[in-house]
Chain A
Amino acid sequence: MIRDFIIFQWRIYRLSFIGSKLFYTWMSFLTFLTFVGAYCYVRQFSHGLVLTGMTDQVSWGLYIANFTFIVGLAAAAVMLVIPAYVYHNKDLHDVVILGELLAIAAIIMCLLFVNVDLGRPDRFWHLLPPLGKFNFPVSMLSWDVVVLLGYLVLNVYICGYLLYIHYLGTKPNPLVYIPFVFIAIFWAISIHTVTAFLYVGLSGRPFWNAAIVAPRFIGSAFTAGPGFMFITFQIIRRLSNYKISDEALRLLRQIITVSLMINLFMVGCEVFKEFYAESAHSSSARYLFFGLHGHNTLVPFIWFAIFIESIAAIIFLVPRLAGKFVYSNVACFLSIIGIWIEKGPGMVVSGFVPTPLGEIVEYFPTLEEALICIGIWSLGILIYSWLVHLAIPILSGTFRHKPLKSQTIAE
């Protein structure tokens, strides 16, 4: 049995490099971008975070902004799991693994974004629970370490088991994976909520110290994540012969629509709370939406984000546009961009402006910082493409284990 598994690893390795010209081009392109990002990171590792645009005043920037957004993508995989397993939705069964593979790639991206943001990544072991000195359960960051690593292990286990069982051609044993699927559902909500609580738990930052932040995170994650999957699954459908039913995509679309409505409603709630009876606590919100004392770098971005999300909402709601997926694709794309802006730089950077002592220092990422972010995104998409490249043949049956006795050498 071990031997079969070793052969499986070897075949996976070979399968990774077999594909169409498009596949080679795509993977080479992503690998190149990853190397560029890695090069910039080695420079940052050698000289320090002084190569970024962060300061004592705005001490978190694009790295943590991207981290915050991508945690949402990782959690959204659960949206597929709930209907599939809890409601036995046959159509979604086909795509659940693809969603969970996205969760794996997303969590790896999150861990990378945290690592490139650390001043001393060489001391990473201080963060690992049995070895370091862990400030659990007091520090929300310690909770984040636990839930992110746990979610990664859960999804690797579930996907690994299901894919290997499919590969062997045997039927999966429900007892081995179903309980973990249900754990993963709750765990997915938790990774996202814990990340939100990182911000909510800081009483010195009134922009973040609000109860709506965690629900906003959930709302925006369940728009962007399924939106990403809606587009990706159509690409997979087109480039392979893997069957993904229209019904599965339509269900995704419904989830995205509802979540987007809720997200926009919550934006409205926040705007009311901050500006109806404006106090000094609303300074960060004023900086973000209207500019503060002449500083208004983020203002066009946030209004652009709200505008395109509203367009997306209209597209989703108009019945005539629901038929052809091309309109929904545009709407998904717009929502993803909008949510990245408002949840990433929009939320993270504004929390630092003004500082608790009233100083305004704006943040502009440097080229290296941006290239490192692009590098990590490329690596994450590369990992996801690779996982899907392996999973599709396994799930569709063209990549199967053959017992050794009847193995034939290729002609």
Chain B
Amino acid sequence: MSDENKDGKNQREPRSLEDITYAPLTRRSFLKAGLVATALTTGGAVTLSPIKELDQPLSIDEFLQKHYEELTPQHMERIISRIKREIKRDYKIDADISDTKPTPGVEFAYALNIGRCIGCRRCVYACMDENNQSRDPEIQYIRVLEMEKGSMNFETSNHYYDPETVPAKNKFYVPVQCHQCDNAPCVKACPIKATWQEPDGIVVVDYNWCIGCRYCLAACPYWARRFNFAKPKIPKKDINPKMDYLGNRIRPRGVAEKCTFCIQRTRNGKLPACAEVCPTGSRIFGNILEKGNPISYILENKRVYVMKEELQTFPRFYYFFEK
């Protein structure tokens, strides 16, 4: 874009490009460079100024942390100590963080009786209490759909129903949460294997590995995954201090999360919070490899429906209809 070649147009710089760029610095070029440098530095300083509002100090340890599956027990101990310190600093609470490994010979599955669900949403709130989900912005793993009787059309469902009492007349209720699919689209989508299926069937997320690209949110056919657009805000009284690394520890900003079948409870012999709190007994949870488990019974004897079965995600979540 030089105008040196337009004859006589610009008298100020008659020298050729070569001479200029080979020439030593003159006072003029020095001042010019000074002006540009000042402008860029000032601009840069103003641009960078909001960094002081950063809501979480950056830590070298966290930056260098390896993937969960490459961590030795000693690594994990150090990491858990660090996370405890961070939670204490940010949420003023002493957390007890474990890293429970899967039990061999266990594969979890979940059955939900749509015939009995009354849509009370106690499962939604029990889940929030158990799993330390952000209250602001609000994250809820379980989404209960109020469906019109006579069809399974999600588009006519109401996600935000709020009648005086439930169940409302001529409606039925379908709670949806992560199905922990055996052929999970989210596991396929993740570019860095931050989400994967554990041997006991639970699809987990390494919250310190996730880069927050949200491809997994786009991939899930059940809209089961959530993202921390902001740093989670939870009132101290609502925090559950018993946490697990892959489960309900308070997540950092900018990572994906979802239902983990309450991994911190189920790997220790308990039921997920949603199953435990359900007042109508609609939720059945169990180890499908165990002799006499309720899920196998349901699959063999009840009218079971797999959501979006045609997508061949092979979920571990089964809906059935029974009074």
Contacts and interface: CB of A to CB of B under 8 A. Distances in A.
Interface of A: 10-11, 14-15, 17-20, 22-23, 31-32, 35, 38-39, 42-43, 45-50, 52, 54-57, 59-60, 114, 117-124, 126-127, 132-135, 138-142, 144-145, 198, 201-205, 239-241, 280, 283, 293, 351-352, 354-359, 385, 388-389, 392-393, 398-400, 402, 407-411
A20 B1 contact: yes
A31 to B, nearest CB: 7
Interface of B: 1-6, 10, 15-24, 29, 32-33, 36, 40, 43-44, 46-55, 58, 63, 67, 69-70, 137, 139, 143, 145, 153-157, 159, 176, 185, 188-194, 209-215, 217-223, 225-231, 252-256, 308, 311
A203 B221 contact: yes
A133 B145 contact: no
Contact of A48 (B214, B219, B228): B228
Given A46-B50, A46-B53, A358-B153, A118 B211 contact: yes
B189 A141 contact: yes
A347 to B, nearest CB: 13
Given A356-B221, A398-B17, A47 B230 contact: yes
10 contacts: A48-B254, A49-B212, A123-B210, A126-B192, A133-B192, A141-B213, A204-B219, A356-B221, A356-B222, A357-B176
B19 A408 contact: yes
Contact of B213 (A118, A354, A400): A118
Given A49-B230, A127-B191, 17 more contacts: A11-B21, A15-B17, A42-B51, A46-B54, A48-B230, A48-B253, A118-B254, A119-B213, A119-B255, A120-B211, A127-B211, A140-B189, A142-B192, A204-B221, A356-B222, A357-B145, A357-B223
Contacts of B48: 42
A126 B194 CA distance: 10
Contacts of B2: 18-20, 240, 393, 398
A311 B208 CA distance: 51
B33 A17 contact: yes
Contacts, number: 240
A32 B43 CA distance: 8
* Highest count of chain B CB atoms <10 Å: which of A54, A56, A121, A354: A56
B42 to A, nearest CB: 10
Contacts of B22: 11, 402, 407, 409-410
A135 B193 contact: yes
Given A19-B2, A120-B211, A204-B311, A35 B229 contact: no
Nearest to A407: B22
A302 B154 CA distance: 26
Given A134-B191, A410-B19, A49 B229 contact: yes
A17 B36 contact: yes
B285 to A, nearest CB: 22
Contacts of B156: 358
A135 B191 contact: yes
Contacts of A46: 50-55
B213 A117 contact: yes
B53 A48 contact: no
Given A141-B191, A359-B159, A410-B23, A120 B67 contact: no
Contacts of B139: 56
A354 B155 contact: yes
A407 B21 CA distance: 11
B162 to A, nearest CB: 15
B153 A280 contact: yes
A11 B18 CA distance: 9
A47 B155 contact: no
A46 B21 CA distance: 41
B214 A133 contact: no
A387 B100 CA distance: 55
B50 A280 contact: no
Contacts of A47: 53, 55, 230
A374 to B, nearest CB: 14
B174 to A, nearest CB: 9
Pairs A-B, 6 closest by C-beta atoms: A119-B212, A204-B221, A119-B254, A358-B154, A141-B191, A50-B230
Contacts of A121: 211
A138 B188 contact: yes
Nearest to B68: A133
A139 B51 contact: no
Contacts of A57: 223
B274 to A, nearest CB: 17
Contact of A358 (B157, B194, B255): B157
A164 to B, nearest CB: 15
B21 to A, nearest CB: 4
A410 B15 contact: yes
A38 B190 contact: no
Contact of A18 (B20, B63, B145, B218): B20
Given A43-B53, A119-B213, A38 B47 contact: yes
A163 to B, nearest CB: 15
Given A203-B311, A389-B1, A50 B192 contact: no
A55 B226 CA distance: 9
Contacts of B209: 123, 126, 133
A119 B228 contact: yes
B227 A56 contact: yes
